[in-house]
Amino acid sequence: MGRVILRRLFTMVPLLLLMSFFTFLFLSLAPGNFLSSIRMNPAYSEETIEMLEKQYHLDKDIVTRYLIWIKDIVRLDFGYSFTFKRPVGEIIGSRLLYTLLLSFSAFLFTWLIAIPLGIICALNRNKFLDKFISIFTFASLSMPSFFLALILLYFVSITNILPAGGFSSPGFEDMSLINKILDVLKHLIIPTFVIGITSMAGLIRITRGNFSEILSKEYVIAAKARGIGNFRVFYLHVLKNAINPLITIFGYNISSLLSGAALTEIICSWPGLGSIMLQAARSQDIYLVMTSMLIGGVMLILGNLTADILLVFNDKRIKIQTA
């Protein structure tokens, strides 16, 4: 098992190289560069722009620049952000916790509600409760998250019951610890709800599908016929068999922990990675974009690996191939 994991981690390297090369290529092939906006500013002379181009190595060709980047990455130097004139690692570090906090809160909200609802649907298949929940899931599936966020912000603007975006209220510094926590929790509600609601629907559908499939399996009926209690049947026979696909989704969810909230973050002015990444991509702040791409790639691979390992633990029939 340990060897397999090592092997998987090792195969990450060529994968990430390939990913990073293509990202770099596309970013460099896109018209213009980070200095384009200065070019359009009447106050800057061409000499100054040329000087900046040299400073940022933008006058070199793509391959040279990529190789320089790789060389730095090996030494864990992620480069400088052109915009902020600070190391990329520091910029991302300053935002990371906020994104994690929001993603984690949305993650909890989604799973704690979706799984029970999915199971309830499966147990009451085609009855009123199932249909009622299904209508709700279809509605939320078809609602884009940014739209839901805007509606909620509008609602808040009329009713004033919740803070409208941001991470904390003015005067946060002077609050007591308890009030600080409460204040942040209040600010978390809207973005958590938006991300949760829109990602919950899929999870409910999948849970419902799996559980109803297993519930109608012959061995479940047989177990019931043998007089095993409902709870035991559910726990021993149904649950273990039904959660495999959910574990895979769990893996994917891990991979989107740092990127899944971007759109909602931007609309709700949440101080996470979302807004600086959008800015970076639009202004072609190339090293910041490259690093966020790397993080995304690593998270995807790690997420999948975690899911695979969990699957082995849950279901002894599954083996990870060593070959």
Partner 1 sequence: MYKRFFILLILPILFLNFNSKVYSDEKPAYGGTLRLSTISDPKSFNPVIAQETSTTSITRYIFEGLLDQDVDTLEMKPHLAESWTKDKDGLVWEFSLKKDIQWNDGTPFTADDVVFSYNSLVYNENIPCSARDILTIKGKNIKVEKVDDHTIRFTLPSPFAPFLRTAGMVEILPKHAYEKYVNENKFNFAMSLNAKPEEIIGTGPFMLSEYKPGQSVILKRNPLYWKKSEIGRLPYLDKISFSIYGDEVAIIQFQQKNIDIYGVRGTDYPILKPLENKNDFTIYNLGPAFGSNFLTFNLNTSKNADGGSYIDKRKLDLFRKVNFRKAIAHAIDKEFIIDSVFNGFAQIQYSPVSPANTLFHNKETEKSFPYEYDPEKSKTLLSKCGLKDINGDKILDYPDGTTVEFNLFTNSGNKLREKICEIIRKDLETIGLKVNYRLLEFNYIVEKTLNTYDWDSIVLGFTGSIEPHFGANVWRSNGHLHMWHPKQEKPDFPFESEIDNIFNNALEIMDDGIRKKHYDKWQILAADNLPLIYTVVSQMLTAVDNRLGNVKPKTNGGVLHNIEEIYIKK
Structure token digits, residue 181:
């926590």
Residues touching partner 1, count (CB under 8 A): 60
Per CB under 8 A, which of residues 169..208 are in contact with partner 1?
A: 169-171, 173
- Is 48 a binder of partner 1 (CB under 8 A)? yes
Q: For residue 66, which of 126, 22, 110, 117 has the smallest C-alpha distance?
A: 22
- Is 19 a binder of partner 1 (CB under 8 A)? no
- Is 12 a binder of partner 1 (CB under 8 A)? no
Task: Tell me which amino acid residue 143 is.
Answer: M
Residue from 4, 12, 52, 310 touching partner 1 (CB under 8 A): that is 52
State the binding string over 69-108 for partner 1 (x if CB under 8 A, else -): --------------xxxx---xx--xx--x----------
* Nearest-approach distance from CB 273 to partner 1, in angstroms: 9
- Alpha-carbon distance values, 133 to 80, 120, 152, 243, 247 (Å): 49, 9, 21, 20, 22
CA distance 230 to 235: 9
- Is 61 a binder of partner 1 (CB under 8 A)? no
Please identify, among the stretches 26-34, 111-119, 217-225, 296-304, the one whose residues bind partner 1 according to the rule CB under 8 A. Answer: 26-34
Exposure string of 215-240, with b = 16+ CB inside 10 Å and e = fewer, is beeeebeebeeeeeeeeebbeebbee
CA distance 115 to 225: 27
Q: What is the dihedral of CA 289, 294, 299, 305, to 10 degrees?
A: 160
* Nearest-approach distance from CB 147 to partner 1, in angstroms: 12
- Cβ proximity to partner 1: between 38 and 112 the closer is 38
Residue from 14, 61, 128, 157 touching partner 1 (CB under 8 A): that is 157
Q: Report residue 319: phi and psi, to 5°.
A: -125, 140
Please identify, among the stretches 12-20, 148-156, 221-229, 301-309, the one whose residues bind partner 1 according to the rule CB under 8 A. Answer: 148-156
- Cβ proximity to partner 1: between 80 and 234 the closer is 80
Residue from 5, 7, 11, 39 touching partner 1 (CB under 8 A): that is 39
- Cβ proximity to partner 1: between 93 and 245 the closer is 93
Residue 160: is it exposed, middle or buried by C-beta count within 10 angstroms (0-12/13-18/19+)?
exposed
| Tokens 């620049």 sit on residue | 65
What residues line the site for partner 1 (CB under 8 A)?
Answer: 30-33, 36-48, 51-52, 55, 83-86, 90-91, 94-95, 98, 150, 153-154, 156-160, 163-171, 173, 266-272, 275-276, 279, 282-284
